[in-house]
Amino acid sequence: MSVLRIRIIGDPVLREKGQIITTITDDIIQLARDMIETMHNANGLGLAAHQVGVPKKLIVLNLKDIGVGKKDIVLINPEVVYSEGSDIAEEGCLSIPGLYTKLERPYYVEVEAEELKLSNGKTKKVRIKAEELYARALLHEIDHINGILFVDRLDDIKRRVLLAKWRKEHPEYN
Secondary structure letter of residue 172 according to DSSP:
G
CA–CA gap between residue 45 and residue 138 (Å, rounded): 10
| Phi, psi angles (nearest 5°) of residue 166 | -60, -45
Contact (Cβ atoms closer than 8 angstroms) between residue 122 and residue 136: no
Task: Let me know: does 56 contact 123? Beta carbons within 8 Å.
Answer: no
Distance CA 168, CA 39 (A): 26
Task: Give, for 137, the enclosing helix (H) or strand (E).
Answer: helix 132-145
Contact yes or no for 56/34 (Cβ under 8 A): no
Among the options 37, 79, 112, 141, which is catalytic?
Answer: 141
Angle at 41 between CA 87 and CA 167, to 5 degrees: 65
**Does 141 qualify as catalytic in the annotation?**
yes
Catalytic residues: 141
